[in-house]
Amino acid sequence: MKPKVILITNIISPYRIPVWNYIAKTGDFDFKIFFMKETEYNREWKIPLEEIQFQYKILSGLHLPIKKLEWEIHLNLSVLIELKKENPDIVILDGYDAPTIWLALFWAKLHGKKVVFWIGSTLFSSKRLKGIVGWFKKMILGFGNSFIAYGQAAKDYLTHFGIPEEKIFVGCNVCNQDFFRTQTNSYRENKDFLQERAKYSPVTFLFVGRFVDGKGIFEMLHILKEIKKENWNLILVGNGPLYKKIQQFIKDNDLQNKIELVGFKQQNELIKYYALSDIFIFPSLQEAYGIVVSEALSSGLFALSSKYAGATYDLIQEGANGYIIDPKNSRDFKSKVQLAIEKFIQNPPDRNKISDSIKKFTSAYYGQKVIEAVKYVL
């Protein structure tokens, strides 16, 4: 009889579906996911339910949005009933900051089940590493039998709290690369593409993300405002509470001809903007990972990626496919932007080489690390 594995996570994130599908198809165990909620208040994406190839259940529960923190608290008492009904051998807990996770951990330990933690936090993304909060994190993580890390930065976070390296299986939290690679290439081969691209400057920057304080958007805008040359423009894709403030900044600084606000776009709509752009800017001030960095690189864009984002340490090859930036250091940020502009004007990087630079980080690569973490505790 195959072992039974239950993963408990917050919502159905479209970019994680390929990884979950791989685990369900390839893992030598019965795999099912409990979602605390289908989606959250600050998510506008459409969930492609037709692509799901794994068993899942959306738990009933209570949900409290904390809009100032861009966070939603989930309390699903039903997780105790569902775990009793399924009686899994292994419980995978995606994070440790939800009451539902604490309930599931309590149930697992009470019934002698193995626990695997799936962790994305980094030393940069976590505000509190010491004191009572640090002690609590260390205590919770101490109940884990093995660990899956989003990437190298998440592994460093786990070792900081004393988790032995042999218990940590490091994946890479990236997008469906084949989709972005093939779709952007196809878009660029469209007969009208060159005419459409001619509407933009020789160097086109792109930002994709939520318009919230932690994304470093105004740090980016202030730097670009100082770049006097007429050979660049910026496309901003996204939505959020800072939208009107960004709109006003563009107007106040007479940047309407340089910066384009296009709103939130679904995954298939993003292709157009990745195809039209040259350099991706990811100026986050605090970010567990940053899935959009992999979307940009897969699409062949040179990336300026923040040192405060987990994705940077797995994906950026300095000078080859991007630069590591410090958005809190305006001098460093500005110099990297200028360097990137000069690079594109003088000798544009090969888009295919950029795309290939992260090719090994497939959904299968990540899914296999999850399977290895499960096998470690069997």
**Domains, in order of start, for the chain:** 4-172+361-377 (3.40.50.2000), 177-356 (3.40.50.2000)
In 3D space, the residue among 259, 354, 372, 249 whose CA is nearest the CA of residue 305 turns out to be 354
pLDDT of res. 127? 75
pLDDT of res. 230? 74
pLDDT of res. 141? 95
pLDDT of res. 136? 87
pLDDT of res. 151? 95
Q: What is the full DSSP assignment across 175-222?
A: --HHHHHHHHHHHHTSTTHHHHHTTS-SEEEEEES--SGGG-HHHHHH
> Could you report the average pLDDT of every consecutive run of 10 residues in the chain (378 residues)?
96 96 97 96 90 97 84 94 98 94 97 97 84 87 97 96 97 94 96 92 96 96 87 95 96 94 95 97 95 97 97 96 97 94 90 96 96 97
Q: Which residues contact 130 (CB under 8 A, 6 or more apart)?
A: none
Q: Look up the pTM and report it.
A: 0.93
**Strand bridging mode 168-170 / 71-75:** unpaired
